[in-house]
Homo-oligomer: A and B are copies of this chain.
Amino acid sequence: MNVYFGQKLAHAKSRRQDPFCFERLVPSASWIVKAWEASEDQICAAGGLDALVFIRLIVFSIRIFSIAATICISLVLPLNYYGHDMEHKVIPSESLEVFSIANVQKGSKRLWAPCLALYVISCCTCALLYHEYKSITKLRLLHITEALSNPSHFTVLVRGIPSSQTESYSETVAKFFSTYYASSYLSHKMVYQSGTVQKLMSDAGKMYKMLKTCTREQQCGPNLMRCGLCGGTTSSFKMLAIESQNDKGRSDSDAADLRRKECGAAFVFFRTRYAALVAAQSLQSQNPMKWVTERAPDPKDVYWTNLGLPYRILWIRRIAIFVVSILFVAFFLVPVTLTQSLVNLDKLQNTFPFLKGILKRKFMSQLATGYLPSVILMLFLYMAPPLMLFFSTMEGAVSRSGRKLSACIKLLYFMIWNVFFANILTGTIIKNLVGEVARRLQDPKNIPNELATAIPTTATFFMTYILTSGWASLSFEILQPLALICNLFYRYALRNKDESTYGTWTFPYHTEIPRVILFGVMGFTCSIMAPLILPFLLVYFFLAYLVYRNQILNVYVTKYQTGGLYWPTVHNATIFSLVLTQIIASGVFGIKKSTVASSFTFPLIILTLLFNEYCRQRFLPVFKRNAAKVLIEMDWQDEQSGIMEETHQKLQSAYCQLTLTTLHQDATLHEHPGETVASGLQDLENLDSGKTQTSGLWAGHSSPEIKELHAM
């Protein structure tokens, strides 16, 4: 239940009164109707702008491939089919290559048809892309203007605060901003360290105290697991808050301790949105490595553990991760092939003797030898998304959404290289000798020709890929086996009846967007060469449309979003695949000795690139920076309605290394422990503002663990 309706459950817990009604057990297709009927506003409300961008990507794909399918199947396919003067068999028994451009004779006059189709597809793609970019830019601006109470607009993330012998970081920040931004500076909030060793130690301490509390309060159930893993978050809090209230005498040493834990990073709050924008954009000091400011992410979006990293080493991390990612993407297939060659049936039989009986049957043996390599490939492929997410974390992303976006881009390169190009190359390598291909590939001019010969032949493979991987991934998505298993494990192995700690998966944009784009790349490149792929692709996109809408509406919970930042990536990828198609087409026309058609595609390539450049000039800056005019107008609106003061008061509590908001969501449990925590927090804020009274130190400590438990 909470696997498939996580979204609804998170929003409306109280409505679930009747745990067993008959309707729930009847399989129904009503979700399809609901997914179909949902409006864009509903999607946007449920999944944010990112979800809308994703749905738009699918709609865009459906539109463009409908056009491509119409023109290619009505015009290009018959010409391909009758390309050779040959006798045709009955269509179902025909080889698939007959439908591809490989069937057209050299020097054929009929090549105007694919050339025309290419022109039509390119023009339609550009027109649609322009339309989409424009509309999403508008939506992004709306997304910004509508979020009037968004605290991130008032906030600037400062890193590289210079350390001083006499002052704490907090004092340095207060001094700097009250000097140079006297009229607009409001207050600030330091970021505290959360080292791993420290975390382990405090974990141990907490565990001990938690057990003590459990036995004392007799609240703990019969099984230890539940207390330690899930209930612990709240009861430990309660205890900590009580403890910190008990011994106020320790506050002096605590304050010094807390200061030592301050990082060279802080959130600085400003009076107006415009002031924050200005502060975020400027180069603050003569040393560009000090006082580095940037727009703060949304409070729920902040990736706290990365904020503590010293700014001066971030560039090294970024370079290292860049190099590692490139190596990973480029040489991913090497370990895969090695493992495939190492793990063969004989070795498996030796390691696991019980397999011997099964594998003696010829059918099973064939199945295993046939599927083992692809199973290994799939296992390695499933490793890629978490690894890319890990890379993006190591890069030092300050927000969760930024981390996902960065992983998305990395995975996009990964998929296009390792699925699209690797298949084409291996297909070519099998046909020719390895050495000859390597030699021919060295000449950059040959690459379009190589691709042109390879694409029509690998189109069959792509078709099966769409049929298997594409459709399978959709059913995987709708069935959520992993989430189901995890949930069952939670429920029955850990005997955790509390559903609220679970069901908070966010939409995996970093895996889904690259997948959909990859199918787009296949569709574009094959559209003219082998138009038969298009119907299969269209079916995939239609199914994806329904499935993902349902998933966004019902399954995933939107905790953070980039605000449409995925679109520029999608746009660039589409332009890339369009240009690739044009290059391949010109190569094919070259091979077919049609210089006219080949030379007709060159202006198309240039025009497409110019169009891309125009879009980059016209729309991209809005995705990178906020427009001053918009924010100034929002400030006016706030001042007129008088809610500015209210927003200012909320700022301090919004950015909080303790995830207060999550605690509030869970506030139904255990007599509202959030309140006691909040009192501890208040003290922490006082300290930040330059006062010395402190308590609730432990509460400050335990924050990262609690967050992690909640994010699990």
Judged by a CB distance under 8 angstroms, whether A626 is at the interface is yes
Name the B residues within 8 Å of A628 (CB-CB). Answer: 180, 282-285
16 contacts between A and B (CB under 8 A): A137-B286, A180-B628, A278-B278, A278-B282, A281-B281, A282-B625, A282-B627, A282-B628, A283-B625, A283-B627, A286-B627, A287-B618, A288-B617, A288-B618, A315-B617, A316-B610
Judge whether A632 and B286 touch: CB under 8 Å: no
Name the B residues within 8 Å of A289 (CB-CB). Answer: 617-618
**CA gap between A628 and B255 in the complex, in Å:** 33
Q: Per-residue 0/1 for A609-624: is the Cβ within 8 Å of any B Cβ (1 yes, 0 no)? A: 0100110011111100
Judged by a CB distance under 8 angstroms, whether A443 is at the interface is yes
Which residues, 575 to 615 on A, are CB-close (under 8 Å) to B?
Answer: 610, 613-614
Residue of A180, A288, A630 contacting most chain B CB atoms (<10 Å): A288
Name the B residues within 8 Å of A442 (CB-CB). Answer: 442-443
- Smallest Cβ distance from A433 to chain B, in angstroms? 17
CB nearest to A444 among chain B residues? B442
**CA gap between A385 and B629 in the complex, in Å:** 43
Judged by a CB distance under 8 angstroms, whether A358 is at the interface is no
Judged by a CB distance under 8 angstroms, whether A111 is at the interface is no
Residue of A277, A287, A610 contacting most chain B CB atoms (<10 Å): A287
Secondary structure of the A side of the interface? helix
Contact of A283 among B283, B284, B315, B626 (CB under 8 A): B626
**CA gap between A502 and B319 in the complex, in Å:** 53
Judge whether B284 and A629 touch: CB under 8 Å: yes
**CA gap between A626 and B282 in the complex, in Å:** 8
Judged by a CB distance under 8 angstroms, whether A141 is at the interface is yes
Name the B residues within 8 Å of A630 (CB-CB). Answer: 286
Which residues, 287 to 321 on A, are CB-close (under 8 Å) to B?
Answer: 287-289, 291, 315-316, 319
Name the B residues within 8 Å of A614 (CB-CB). Answer: 315
**CA gap between A61 and B443 in the complex, in Å:** 39
Name the B residues within 8 Å of A319 (CB-CB). Answer: 610, 613
CB nearest to A630 among chain B residues? B286
Name the B residues within 8 Å of A621 (CB-CB). Answer: 283, 288
**CA gap between A180 and B273 in the complex, in Å:** 13
Residue of A286, A625, A630 contacting most chain B CB atoms (<10 Å): A286
CB nearest to A618 among chain B residues? B289
Which residues, 321 to 346 on A, are CB-close (under 8 Å) to B?
Answer: none
- Smallest Cβ distance from A179 to chain B, in angstroms? 9
Name the B residues within 8 Å of A285 (CB-CB). Answer: 627-629
- Smallest Cβ distance from A319 to chain B, in angstroms? 6
Judge whether A180 and B629 touch: CB under 8 Å: yes
**CA gap between A627 and B289 in the complex, in Å:** 12
CB within 8 Å for A284 and B627 given contacts A278-B278, A442-B442, A632-B180? yes
- Smallest Cβ distance from A619 to chain B, in angstroms? 7
- Smallest Cβ distance from A190 to chain B, in angstroms? 21
- Smallest Cβ distance from A636 to chain B, in angstroms? 10
* 8 nearest A-B pairs in the assembled complex, by CB-CB distance: A288-B621, A282-B628, A283-B625, A442-B442, A278-B278, A283-B627, A281-B281, A285-B629
**CA gap between A125 and B627 in the complex, in Å:** 43
Judge whether A141 and B627 touch: CB under 8 Å: no
Name the B residues within 8 Å of A443 (CB-CB). Answer: 442
Name the B residues within 8 Å of A627 (CB-CB). Answer: 282-286
- Smallest Cβ distance from A707 to chain B, in angstroms? 31
Name the B residues within 8 Å of A284 (CB-CB). Answer: 627-629
Given contacts A283-B625, A288-B617, A288-B620, 7 further A-B contacts (CB under 8 A): A137-B286, A180-B632, A282-B625, A283-B622, A285-B629, A288-B619, A315-B614
CB nearest to A621 among chain B residues? B288
- Smallest Cβ distance from A182 to chain B, in angstroms? 10
Judge whether A282 and B283 touch: CB under 8 Å: no
Name the B residues within 8 Å of A620 (CB-CB). Answer: 288
**CA gap between A626 and B278 in the complex, in Å:** 13
Judge whether B286 and A282 touch: CB under 8 Å: no
Name the B residues within 8 Å of A626 (CB-CB). Answer: 283
CB nearest to A284 among chain B residues? B628
Name the B residues within 8 Å of A618 (CB-CB). Answer: 287-289
Name the B residues within 8 Å of A282 (CB-CB). Answer: 277-278, 281, 625, 627-628
Which residues, 253 to 286 on A, are CB-close (under 8 Å) to B?
Answer: 277-278, 281-286
Residue of A610, A614, A618, A628 contacting most chain B CB atoms (<10 Å): A628
**CA gap between A137 and B617 in the complex, in Å:** 31
Name the B residues within 8 Å of A632 (CB-CB). Answer: 180
Q: Per-residue 0/1 for A159-198: is the Cβ within 8 Å of any B Cβ (1 yes, 0 no)? A: 0000000000000000000001000000000000000000
CB within 8 Å for A286 and B617 given contacts A281-B281, A316-B610, A610-B319? no
- Smallest Cβ distance from A283 to chain B, in angstroms? 4
CB within 8 Å for A288 and B613 given contacts A277-B282, A443-B442, A628-B180? no
CB nearest to A445 among chain B residues? B442
**CA gap between A614 and B442 in the complex, in Å:** 34
**CA gap between A614 and B281 in the complex, in Å:** 21
Which residues, 101 to 145 on A, are CB-close (under 8 Å) to B?
Answer: 137, 141
CB nearest to A320 among chain B residues? B610
Which residues, 427 to 474 on A, are CB-close (under 8 Å) to B?
Answer: 442-443
**CA gap between A622 and B619 in the complex, in Å:** 28
**CA gap between A617 and B288 in the complex, in Å:** 7
- Smallest Cβ distance from A93 to chain B, in angstroms? 45
- Smallest Cβ distance from A632 to chain B, in angstroms? 5
**CA gap between A319 and B614 in the complex, in Å:** 11
**CA gap between A286 and B278 in the complex, in Å:** 16
CB nearest to A323 among chain B residues? B606
